[in-house]
A and B are shown apart, each in its own frame.
Chain A
Amino acid sequence: DSGVTQTPKHLITATGQRVTLRCSPRSGDLSVYWYQQSLDQGLQFLIQYYNGEERAKGNILERFSAQQFPDLHSELNLSSLELGDSALYFCASSVGRTPITGELFFGEGSRLTVL
């Protein structure tokens, strides 16, 4: 158990819909990262928040947005969903502002299926 909690574990929805994925980081971790992993593919970095503020942006589509709340949990909002958005979405957390201080702890992921 990494200490990172993601909900929901599975989500099935239709094209054009909007979903919200939720992540609670490990206790004490200030950074939250979101990654997308399509079937049997690598990890695509989407976005990072540190202590409530956006710190880094990766290949995140304009239809996607995220935020980190004062209690440090984070939400990833995916809208106008397309078939190609079907993937496993991972949240990870770490203590520091950058990974230079140590590892990322990953949650178990939210599997999104768009029909």
Chain B
Amino acid sequence: GQQVMQIPQYQHVQEGEDFTTYCNSSTTLSNIQWYKQRPGGHPVFLIQLVKSGEVKKQKRLTFQFGEAKKNSSLHITATQTTDVGTYFCAGLGDSNYQLIWGAGTKLIIKP
């Protein structure tokens, strides 16, 4: 079946360093959504990408959707303690319109 692989599983960064998480799908996606889950919290929607090659920015966060609509990335510039949490991608399957979730990348800020 359709799968979305997300790497890395964890990323430890010093505050101020950059962070990137990547998602790769085995098949073409209709769109991809990104969510953030703070520790002890629930997933919160960040953004949706629909077009091939699309790039969207939200302040220090940059989201990209690959040309083939099979991969996506989230890049955070100059991380802050408020960025701590797990970032999930969720791709919408092309055929059954079901969200296929990545396993998440946990961002940990080193003290």
Q: Which A residues lie at the B interface, using CB under 8 A?
A: 2, 40-43, 45, 48, 56, 58, 90, 92, 98-100, 102-109
Inter-chain contact A103/B45, CB cutoff 8 Å: yes
Chain B nearest CB from A30 CB (Å) reads: 15
Inter-chain contact A90/B102, CB cutoff 8 Å: no
Q: How many A-B residue pairs have CB under 8 A?
A: 53
Taken together as a complex, chains A and B put the C-alpha atoms of A98 and B102 apart, in Å, by 18
Q: Is B85 an interface residue (CB 8 A)?
A: no
Name the prevailing secondary structure of the B interface residues.
Answer: strand
Inter-chain contact B99/A104, CB cutoff 8 Å: yes
Query: Can you offer 12 A-B residue contacts whose CB atoms are under 8 A?
Result: A42-B101, A42-B104, A45-B98, A45-B99, A98-B92, A98-B98, A100-B30, A100-B92, A103-B48, A104-B33, A104-B45, A104-B99
Q: How large is the interface on B (under 10, 10 to 19, 20 to 34, 35 or more residues)?
A: 20 to 34
Chain A nearest CB from B44 CB (Å) reads: 7
Inter-chain contact A42/B42, CB cutoff 8 Å: no
Chain B nearest CB from A92 CB (Å) reads: 8
Q: Is B66 an interface residue (CB 8 A)?
A: no
Q: Is B96 an interface residue (CB 8 A)?
A: yes
Inter-chain contact B92/A106, CB cutoff 8 Å: no
Inter-chain contact A109/B42, CB cutoff 8 Å: yes
Chain A nearest CB from B85 CB (Å) reads: 12
